[in-house]
Amino acid sequence: MNENKINVASQIIEKLLVNLRVLSQISEGDKLEFTAQGNFIPQKPEYWTWAYRFVKRIDRWYTLEKIQDTVSSAEIMEYHNEGVDQNRIENALKLSVHGLRNLQLTYKEDTLFFQSIEVLLERIANRYKLKNKDMI
């Protein structure tokens, strides 16, 4: 692999790791916002949050799509990279479970969204053989 391809792959992996770590820090009630470059930003529940999200056209389904894309991309990068990056991606995916659970609780009244996150969590749990205690 030439040096340019390695640099591009490293940049992609770093962005995935950052987004998974931000996701892992989501608390119940928080939502996700996104930079123009596609980075995740935690958005605390405040009075103006709903209006901001409405104007920016950020809804739970857009959020779910971004999360699913990030998890899928991380899985692909993990599969194609051995060694240090593979371990870093695995650890970041495992850590993301905490934030995914909290995001799931944020939207617990929406059965479809709740179950969509549950399927994503099951995918991570099955991939790494995580136990119930690891899924909190």
**What are the average pLDDT values for consecutive 10-residue runs of the chain, which has 136 residues?**
69 94 96 92 85 83 95 90 82 96 95 97 93 78
Buried b (16+ CB within 10 A) or exposed e, 19-57: bbebbbebeeebbbbbeeeeebeebeeeeebeeebeeee
pLDDT at site 56: 80
3-state secondary structure 51-113: HHHHHHCCCHHHHHHHHHHHHHHHHHHHHHCCCHHHHHHHHHHHHHHHHHHHHHHHCCCCHHH
**Number of domains the chain is built from:** 1
pLDDT at site 5: 65
Q: Provide the residue range defining the domain that includes 120.
A: 3-135
